[in-house]
Chain A
């Protein structure tokens, strides 16, 4: 019962945060809303017994990526007058919502027709570092290595993109 209350609370928070992201004009406000969504999602992960992912969500997403984002927003020193004029923002949002409605209802229809909705009890080890690590390094070793190379490439790329122009200027 308690878990359901928690689920409801986190759900509402995450949806509100997401709506805030698309509504606020200034990106800083949007980023803050997104942080709320991230943290609520971390809570939901915890509810789903995903301990490691809960931690990573908080540390990597809510922590690292979002702080990088906020840092960039501050680095670019975005003022309100620099922002694009978005007078018709709400009109667009409404139109988008109308267009997206069939997508949403279709996905909802798919999701509700799935069988086996009740959760089973899982052991204490589920979602822990050791267990996920075993799966990761036993069954997913090659994708893991590929992702590590991808990160390296992204690192080099980011340095090159953001750094070269600075030298040339």
Chain B
């Protein structure tokens, strides 16, 4: 039983990584990160259920709170970037190039 949930969590997590590394749209990248967070949450809840302890629930709530904070900041940054360059392409922001 628990393995099914965890495998689902792994699948979703991997898809999230895939989204981060292969897409250039800032918003999609951001939503992929949210997906990864959700996958982690699922693992927390599943472990919590099978150990009959509610600490996992608390952690999941923490993650959601952090995700909410992150969403607020990340979207503010996205707005700024869009205003600055007029684009949503991650390749435009290449200031790190040596």
Please give the residue numbers on chain A whose beta carbons come within 8 Å of chain B beta carbons, in ascending order: 7, 11, 14-15, 18-19, 21-22, 25, 27, 30-31, 34, 37-38, 41, 44-45, 48-50, 52-53, 56-57, 60-61, 64-65, 68-69, 72-73, 75-76, 78, 82-84, 86, 89, 92-93, 95-97, 99-100, 103-104, 107-108, 111-112, 114, 116-120, 122, 126-127, 131-132, 135-136, 139-140, 143-144, 147, 150-151, 153-155, 157-158, 161-162, 165
> Would you call B76 and A69 a contact (CB within 8 A)?
no
Q: A15-B11, A50-B57, A157-B76 known; A147 and B18 CB under 8 Å?
A: no
Give me the 3 closest cross-chain CB pairs, A-B, nearest first.
A154-B69, A84-B89, A92-B22
> Would you call A37 and B12 a contact (CB within 8 A)?
yes
Q: What residues of B have a CB within 8 angstroms of the CB of A30 in the complex?
A: 25, 27-28, 31
Q: What residues of B have a CB within 8 angstroms of the CB of A103 in the complex?
A: 14, 17
> Would you call A38 and B38 a contact (CB within 8 A)?
yes
Q: For chain B, what secondary structure do more than half of its interface residues adopt (helix, strand, loop), or is it mixed? A: helix
Please give the residue numbers on chain B whose beta carbons come within 8 Å of chain A beta carbons, in ascending order: 1-8, 10-19, 21-25, 27-28, 30-32, 34-35, 38, 41-42, 45-46, 48-50, 52, 54-55, 57-58, 60-62, 64-73, 75-80, 82-83, 86-91
Q: What residues of A have a CB within 8 angstroms of the CB of B15 in the complex?
A: 15, 18-19, 21-22
For the complex, what is the distance from the CA of A104 to the CA of B11, rounded to whole Å?
7
> Would you call A154 and B64 a contact (CB within 8 A)?
no
For B10, give its contact among A104, A117, A161 (CB under 8 Å). A104
Q: For chain A, what secondary structure do more than half of its interface residues adopt (helix, strand, loop), or is it mixed? A: helix
> Would you call B7 and A147 a contact (CB within 8 A)?
no
Q: A41-B38, A61-B38, A108-B10 known; A69 and B31 CB under 8 Å?
A: yes
> Would you call B10 and A107 a contact (CB within 8 A)?
yes
For the complex, what is the distance from the CA of A14 to the CA of B15, rounded to whole Å?
11
Q: A64-B68, A93-B18, A151-B68 known; A126 and B54 CB under 8 Å?
A: yes
For A100, give its contact among B17, B23, B79 (CB under 8 Å). B17
For B42, give its contact among A41, A108, A132 (CB under 8 Å). A41
The chain B residue with its CB closest to the CB of A77 is B82
Which of A22, A83, A154 gathers the greatest number of chain B CB atoms within 10 Å? A22
> Would you call A112 and B75 a contact (CB within 8 A)?
no
> Would you call B12 and A162 a contact (CB within 8 A)?
no
